[in-house]
Amino acid sequence: MTHLAASATAAVEHVLTVDCPEAPGIVHAVSRFLLEHGSDIIDNHQFGDRRDGHFFMRVRFATSGNENSTELLRRNFAAVATPFAMRWHLEPAGTRRRVLVMVSRHGHCLNDLLFRTRSGDLPLDVVAVVSNHPDHEALVSWHGIPFFHVPVTSATKPEAEAQLLQIVDEFAVDLVVLARYMQVLSNDLCTRLAGRTINIHHSFLPSFKGAKPYHQAHERGVKLVGATAHYVTADLDEGPIIAQEVISVDHSHTPDDTLPSRSSSVPATRSRRSASCWVKRWETPSMALTGNGVDARAGTI
């Protein structure tokens, strides 16, 4: 067999994610489609939310084909999706997502994301970093990534957000990660980036939203603090939760020094795990945006 013939019949792996209203026959329809297209299911996860009447499915499969296989599968699957009103994505496995990181002065989440990406731990490409301060330009430039200093004031916020959207479009960004970015996005920007912006908030939401969560926690005398990764919506720190992590504290930890230093690794860990979760498509963006969060489902289905 020639090299050309071998490449034409090589197995190509894809990932199909689906969400739609619950109905009989969804799994059968998807499985039949894959069988009819000569595909072998490698991994399948599904979840039916009976309370909301919604169904979610993620299938990884292998099929014989070439570089045209993906478009052919997409065209043919549309006929399966329409009767069930599916929202779906079908793409080659291992597709690397293009990520834009936004940061202010605290750089631990940014540094962790850049290091984990450079070392190959995260299946993504950080294509640009935007900050309202110039502090991290040297770090970002060392990684060979474009850095954009976009100052934000109440007077310049519309222009700053317009510049941000221009960067998102220019770099074909799939996901925006707010890694300790301490500016509140406007309602219009949240709508424009709905479903593809996640925030790393340094508290265990829904407790202690907004500014100075360490001070709020200290005043209430809590014994657990943590970090929450969630989708960004127009409601501040109230978007659907993706993942959370906590650590123990006591009365000896203060909100200005020991408490932030003790808990700084938690947002960093959450940021990389949440980005990885989003990129690997253990859940679809629409799954989270149904309003019930996704962390438990992502780990169990």
Angstrom CA distances, 212 to 136, 215, 259, 272, 293, stand at 22, 5, 12, 23, 24
Would you call 180 helix, strand, or coil by DSSP? Answer: coil
Tokens 């009767």: give the residue. Answer: 83
Nearest of 173, 273, 287, 181 to residue 229 by alpha carbon: 273
What gap in Å lies between CA 145 and CA 91, rounded to an integer?
26
What gap in Å lies between CA 212 and CA 219, rounded to an integer?
11
Tokens 């631990």: give the residue. Answer: 108
Backbone angles phi, psi at 240, to 5 degrees: -55, 135
Spatial contact of 7 and 67, defined as CB atoms under 8 Å apart: no
Nearest of 107, 126, 102, 128 to residue 116 by alpha carbon: 126
Which amino acid makes up residue 127? V
Question: Among the options 19, 174, 237, 295, which is catalytic?
Answer: 237
What gap in Å lies between CA 40 and CA 271, rounded to an integer?
33
Which amino acid makes up residue 90? L
Is position 40 annotated as part of the catalytic site?
no
Point out the residues that are catalytic.
237
